[in-house]
Structure 1
Amino acid sequence: MKYATKSNNTANGGRGMSKPWETAFDSRTDLAEYGDNALGLFALGLKFGIEDLETVAADAITDGSDDKKCDIVYIDESEGYAVITQCYKSSKARQSAPANKASDLNTAVSWLFQRPLKELPERISSPARQLRDGIKDGQIKKIFIWYVHNLPESSNVTDELKTVEETLKSALTQRFADKAIAVSAHEIGQNTFETWYSETLSPILVNDDFKIELKHGYEVAGPNWSAYVTSVPASFLHRTYKKHRTKLFSANVRDYLGSRSSDSNINNGIKKTAETEPANFWVFNNGLTILVNDYAEVSGTRKKSLIISGMSIVNGAQTTGAIASLTKSPTEVEIPARFVKTSDADLVHSIIQYNNSQNKVTASDFRSTDSVQKRLKEQMSRIPNAEYEGGRRGGAGDSIARRPNLLPSYTVGQSLAAMHGDPVTAYNQKTDIWINDRLYSRYFNEETSAHHIIFAFGLLRSVEHRKLALMAKHKAASTSLTTAEERQLSFFRKRGSIYLLVSAISACMETFLGRKVPNIYRLSFGDKTSPKDAQKIWNEIVDVTAPLCAQLDEALNDGLKSGERAESAISKFQGLVEVTADSNASKFKLFKQKIVSR
């Protein structure tokens, strides 16, 4: 995405040079093949910290002539949200994006939520079903409507999106009156991209200086860090939050969750304690951990003060939000606090991680220190062109600047689950694979090796690229698809199809190898095969088995939800692969020669 630099009417605001977020976007050459949708994928990565945009693209892009204005429908049931996106990338200098494309989202909302499923085009039928089922089952609690573009935001677009928001609220009220679904429509343009990008560069967004009068306090130092331990008046939090709002929580994986009138709700309890037992608040509350750029103790004639530069509340968002929601600023409440400063980026990550250990968003992080992940990471270091964080997420930077050799932790878990015969879990429970001890130990155990991960990951990538290649061929000239390719594309348009096909192909391993396979964990392409090379080896197998995917359709009719239906469909697929084995014997023989069994 390059803009002219001679005119003041350039798409980047006439500044004569690209903004940092544009430079970061341009560097994502892996997104170039997705056209306008690349902006939507980039936005998802920035906003939600998604590392594996390749897998997201394979599942979420619906773009085409009959997409009913839905370019991307991204659904994350494990986190409870969905994003419906219209994308537009301008190659010319404009002052704003076309407002009519924002109003097109009314069409998207109407088709996705109001029209009978049987009337929907094939391209959006599966995501519409997944959205409706997710809301009905209580798994989707928030829906974002995005108009994503590379131009300045405008009031005209904002007005159109307000109408879209009301349309969606009305549709949800009619169909899901008993569900409380939060809805928000946003224009994601130059200013928003710049804000989101800047937020990923530093964990501290509030850079003001603050002065806190001290009653007591002391300093603690460690390797590469120091901290000042004291207590702060609740009035300080009340005042500071009113000014800076949720920017105070930039290093906290959770914002304020709100409070309900229930004694069992922690935030309501915090408010009640502050109002009724202010003198005991200090001993009842766990306190705050606050990252700062710097701090200094200053002694006056009568009192000491703490001067802090910049702040982000790592732990204590609920306490801060609850205090700030009080009608009156509390005058007698003191809150335990420690102000931490460090220039060590890895240490900052760990501080954030360990101070938010109850949050499932970083589920994989909390496996990163177990013996299995340590062993896998060490093994992976010996495999060419492969990086693995051992469960730890790569951080905000990896959702912006792609690390081409990185195997994202969640995708690794999904590929293992699919290869080992559980496509339902692979597609619907990617977070649970890391949270649930039973699931985790099923796929990450003493038999799991780094080269087996490459084996599974390569198959997943091969199937994803099969789908994307068919989509690209259809978009270039729909008539160029053969009848067999049209059937495959029809299959791939169903949500969960990629993981189902991975499981089905894996289930045919004995046919490919012509022998018993008592333990699939022992199979790999050896420890010298890179992920890219593994994908290439699998391509030959995927090419000859993907045309048989119609046998798997029955497992996707109502979404990929039933393990029994998946097993039944996979059994039929296996039978057909066995019947056609002789005609593919030469390819199976070449594949067999690449297999290493330990």
Structure 2
Amino acid sequence: MYLEKGEDLFSGNPRNYLGMGKRKNNINQGIITTVETDNDNFWAYNNGITALVNNYHPNDETNEIIINGITIINGAQTTGAIGAAKTIENDFFIPARFIICNDPKIIEKIINNNNKQNEILPSDLRSNDKQQERLRRDFNKYPALFYSGGRRDDKVVRNKEVFDPYLVAQTLKAYHGDCVLAYNGKKILWDDDKEYNNVFIDQLTVEHIIYVYSLSRAIDEYKIRLKTKGETRTDSEEQQMMFLSKRGSKMLLIYAISETMENIVGSKINDSWQLRFKDCSDFDKLVKKWYDVIEVVLAFSGNLLPALEGGLKNKETAKKTVESVKAIIVAIQVTLKKQLKEFISMLKWK
């Protein structure tokens, strides 16, 4: 019917078939692949269609349902993708609901309610992953902190520091070497199997998440402090404010701090995934302890600026700018070890 009637088949639907031209429509390609290679199970994989019809009645002799008039109000992507399949080897089942209704107000409500489903986010599909289940369980050690692991519900979390799953993945990715993807690939980190598994590794601990996430929060608060100073900002603070106001600056700064951490603590760090605070019970305290480190690295923010021209887009440029800052930090690391003695004493990396 779709091949014959085209978009007229969706006259009562808020959307027509969206095709496969954009990445977000890869689900339509997935439907086509299922139709062509695994359609015996299509009925179990797909939500099917909902259609308004004028009338229908069963024909017992032919074991068919005869339908008069039809508009598909939910299932345009399913219908269009099936119509776009190149080869269909055999007949297969599609879940379907046929609704008869002559009340215009009820019809409007049927159409609206059938097209108001919550968007399926990449994190939804990972929420039952073994790593997310483990991290949710391990976060219970810290009653003042909350991590959903991508699982959405309607519970209101009160009096807790809520760790946003997407920001957790972004900060971890930036800290461990790729600030460009961390900034530009928020959903990719959850959607792509390889990237997801590179972030949520078996060795990832709740304590390391707290360590990196507290740095992210500290950068946010440091920026707010500079902003509130207004006209009283010094020239160096003006330069820091200019840097932090640029797109991608936070992820670049997290990466820069990560790359200079050995020089800051004055010791070899064999496994950066082991970095954590000895005591994670007071999150606000940890955030404030990052201020001194942020101030040190931001003193050389001018060296990092080239990586932010037009937004944080080039991984090689980011790496070069961070290396230039690292070279300066190396030259003053003896002084830094004394200056940041209290912060260093709070860390554990072995």
Tell me if both proteins adopt one fold, taking TM over 0.5 as the criterion: yes
CA contact (8 A) 2:57 2:67 kept: no
Q: Which amino acid aligns with 2:267?
A: R
Counterpart of 2:163 in 1: which secondary structure?
coil
Structure 1 542/285 Cα, relative in aligned 2: closer, same or farther at 3 Å? Answer: same
Structure 1 368/502 Cα, relative in aligned 2: closer, same or farther at 3 Å? Answer: same
Structure 1 364/214 Cα, relative in aligned 2: closer, same or farther at 3 Å? Answer: same
Q: 1:523 aligns with which of 275, 279, 282?
A: 275
CA contact (8 A) 1:554 1:565 kept: yes
**Structure with the larger helix share:** 2
Q: Which amino acid aligns with 2:149?
A: G
The answer to whether structure 1 residue 363 and structure 2 residue 126 are counterparts is: no
CA contact (8 A) 1:424 1:563 kept: yes
Counterparts of residues 102-117 of structure 1 (less than 5 Å) = none
Q: 1:561 aligns with which of 306, 313, 327?
A: 313
CA contact (8 A) 1:523 1:596 kept: yes
The answer to whether structure 1 residue 581 and structure 2 residue 345 are counterparts is: no
Counterparts of residues 426-575 of structure 1 (less than 5 Å) = 426-474=182-230, 479-526=231-278, 528-575=280-327
CA distance in 2 between partners of 1:482 and 1:237 (Å): 66
CA distance in 1 between partners of 2:111 and 2:285 (Å): 43
What displacement does 1:527 show? 6.0
Structure 1 550/393 Cα, relative in aligned 2: closer, same or farther at 3 Å? Answer: farther
CA distance in 1 between partners of 2:181 and 2:153 (Å): 23
Structure 1 481/527 Cα, relative in aligned 2: closer, same or farther at 3 Å? Answer: closer
The answer to whether structure 1 residue 266 and structure 2 residue 81 are counterparts is: yes
CA distance in 2 between partners of 1:462 and 1:366 (Å): 30
CA contact (8 A) 1:454 1:530 kept: no
Counterpart of 2:311 in 1: which secondary structure?
coil
CA distance in 1 between partners of 2:327 and 2:196 (Å): 31
Partner of 1:287: 96
CA distance in 1 between partners of 2:316 and 2:98 (Å): 48
Counterparts of residues 227-306 of structure 1 (less than 5 Å) = 265-266=80-81, 285-287=94-96
CA distance in 2 between partners of 1:269 and 1:403 (Å): 51
The answer to whether structure 1 residue 388 and structure 2 residue 147 are counterparts is: yes
Q: Which amino acid aligns with 2:319?
A: E
The answer to whether structure 1 residue 414 and structure 2 residue 229 are counterparts is: no
Residues 531-570 of structure 1 show CA distances to partners (whole Å, capped at 9, x for unaligned) of 3333122122112222221111111123211111111111
What displacement does 1:580 show? 3.0
What residue ranges of structure 2 are gaps of 5+ in the alignment? 1-21, 25-51, 59-64, 86-90, 100-105
CA distance in 1 between partners of 2:127 and 2:145 (Å): 17
What displacement does 1:467 show? 1.8
Q: Which amino acid aligns with 2:135?
A: L
What displacement does 1:500 show? 0.1
CA contact (8 A) 2:211 2:277 kept: yes
CA distance in 1 between partners of 2:252 and 2:67 (Å): 56
| Identity percentage of aligned residues | 28
CA distance in 2 between partners of 1:530 and 1:214 (Å): 65
What residue ranges of structure 1 are gaps of 5+ in the alignment? 1-137, 141-209, 217-230, 242-248, 250-254, 260-264, 271-281, 291-306, 321-351, 354-358
What displacement does 1:465 show? 1.7
Partner of 1:36: none
Counterpart of 2:186 in 1: which secondary structure?
coil
What displacement does 1:237 show? 5.7
Counterpart of 2:270 in 1: which secondary structure?
coil
Counterpart of 1:387 in 2: which secondary structure?
strand
What displacement does 1:378 show? 0.6
What displacement does 1:497 show? 0.7
CA contact (8 A) 2:243 2:301 kept: yes
What displacement does 1:312 show? 7.9
The answer to whether structure 1 residue 378 and structure 2 residue 134 are counterparts is: no
CA contact (8 A) 1:494 1:559 kept: yes
Structure 1 378/269 Cα, relative in aligned 2: closer, same or farther at 3 Å? Answer: same
Counterparts of residues 21-420 of structure 1 (less than 5 Å) = 265-266=80-81, 285-287=94-96, 361-394=120-153, 404-420=160-176
CA distance in 1 between partners of 2:307 and 2:98 (Å): 48
Residues 83-138 of structure 1 show CA distances to partners (whole Å, capped at 9, x for unaligned) of xxxxxxxxxxxxxxxxxxxxxxxxxxxxxxxxxxxxxxxxxxxxxxxxxxxxxxx9
CA distance in 1 between partners of 2:132 and 2:182 (Å): 19
Residues 159-205 of structure 1 show CA distances to partners (whole Å, capped at 9, x for unaligned) of xxxxxxxxxxxxxxxxxxxxxxxxxxxxxxxxxxxxxxxxxxxxxxx
CA distance in 2 between partners of 1:283 and 1:313 (Å): 29
